Structure 1
Amino acid sequence: MGREHRDLRTALEDYARRMPAHAPLADEFLALLDAPGEDPFSRARLDGHFTASAWLVSADGARVLLTHHRKLGRWLQLGGHADGDRDLPRVALREAEEESGLAGLRLQAGGIFDLDRHWIPARGTVPGHWHYDVRYVVAAGTEEGFVVSEESLDLAWRAVDTIAADPQADASLQRMARRWLAGAG
């Protein structure tokens, strides 16, 4: 077992202690981490694999940068596939940088912010599969001029309190917004 494997195990166990209601979900992530067979950090593992996302907050913590995801057609947090990288905090930071074009982003201390297991529908030759998304808080500096990447239809800074109250928002975005407002960030 490598360092990144141990680090993720420790982070998942810590998340389960901090968020007891989410402990069963954390157990599913731990089961994937320990599952035999194909690498759970590779998208080639079609029955489910790890992804990492960034709850990318503005310097004042009042807003979050969202992507209008090109493939899914929904407003979501920035993130993507691990593609073999077992350091999921690094993956979240890299995805935030690549998808936003923002410089000076930094991973906020505190470990895992949120976990979400969600179904990705079949697309082209890739069958439907599960994403085990591990989410971290990434903080922007004072520069907020983003660049829309080819993975997005658009990007927008949205007020966290607006997301928390928006019944049309993705359920996991609402959950993260409410957690952030409650001071878990």
Structure 2
Amino acid sequence: MNREGLKKILKSYRTPFEEEKNFVAEFIALTEDPLAFQRERKEGHFTASAWIVNKTRTHALLTHHRKLSRWLQLGGHADGNENLMEVAMTEAREESGLISLKLVDSYIFDIDKHIIPANAKDPQHYHYDVRFLIEAAMDEPLTISKESKDLAWVSYETVPDVVAGNESILRMLEKTSKSEFVY
């Protein structure tokens, strides 16, 4: 999937969640910016994430992000790669050490626009996060990367408490725990 492929998929993206519906036009517009996939676009840029779940959909793999000090899904910057599905898979491998990752569907699973606070290197900016649903085996060993404080398979029942009400994660959780969203 390149920039044009992403734009085409975004134009056909449908979701019952209002917050996602509100992002679609901005995501499509961003595909027109030559720097959309680069960190150098200081207002905001594309990122890609992996919502990693076990096959029976009872647990999600979360990372305790070192810089943000919050439990989140795995993912990261595109750094010029317009194939966000590839970015999500690469980030998932690098941040978890998992090898048996299986992309459930090549279609976008979720999108989210969120603010990233300023730090020593970058001003406050937006991440336009494109997310993909990935399955993995819970018995495979995990490797914590330098970007994380911890990794954990979190049961669906405890995800809301662990992520402290993060609405975008709760939305992905709902998509994988309700029968009408089964992928």
TM-score by length of 2: 0.90
Q: Is residue 115 from structure 1 mapped to residue 108 from structure 2 by the alignment?
A: no
CA distance 1:20–1:61, shift in 2 (3 Å)? closer
CA contact under 8 A between 1:75 and 1:170: conserved in structure 2? Answer: no
CA distance 1:40–1:98, shift in 2 (3 Å)? same
Q: Is residue 105 from structure 1 mapped to residue 129 from structure 2 by the alignment?
A: no
1:181 aligns to what?
Answer: 177
Structure 2: stretches of 5+ with no match in the other structure: none
Q: Is residue 140 from structure 1 mapped to residue 136 from structure 2 by the alignment?
A: yes
Q: Distance in 2 between matches of 1:127 and 1:18?
A: 31
1:14 aligns to what?
Answer: 12
Task: Note the C-alpha offset of 1:80.
Answer: 0.2
Q: Distance in 2 between matches of 1:60 and 1:97?
A: 21
Counterparts of residues 81-100 of structure 1 (less than 5 Å): 81-100=77-96
CA distance 1:34–1:143, shift in 2 (3 Å)? same
The match for 1:31 among 26, 29, 35 is: 29
Q: Distance in 2 between matches of 1:104 and 1:161?
A: 24
Identify the range of structure 1 (56-65 vs 114-123) with the bigger mean alpha-carbon deviation.
56-65
Q: Is residue 157 from structure 1 mapped to residue 139 from structure 2 by the alignment?
A: no
CA contact under 8 A between 1:107 and 1:138: conserved in structure 2? Answer: yes
List per-residue Cα deviations over 1:86-144 (Å, max 9, x = no partner): 00011001000000001121211151111110110111031111100001001113643
Q: Distance in 2 between matches of 1:134 and 1:49?
A: 11
Q: Distance in 1 between matches of 2:140 and 2:154?
A: 12
Question: In the alignment, residue 64 of structure 2 is paired with which amino acid?
Answer: H
Q: Distance in 1 between matches of 2:148 and 2:17?
A: 34
Question: In the alignment, residue 66 of structure 2 is paired with which amino acid?
Answer: R
Q: Distance in 2 between matches of 1:94 and 1:125?
A: 24
The root-mean-square deviation of aligned C-alpha atoms, in Å, is: 1.9
Alignment identity in percent?
Answer: 44
Q: Is residue 172 from structure 1 mapped to residue 168 from structure 2 by the alignment?
A: yes
Q: Distance in 2 between matches of 1:104 and 1:155?
A: 16
Q: Distance in 1 between matches of 2:139 and 2:95?
A: 15
- How many pairs were matched up? 180
Q: Distance in 2 between matches of 1:153 and 1:44?
A: 26
CA contact under 8 A between 1:165 and 1:174: conserved in structure 2? Answer: no
TM-score by length of 1: 0.89
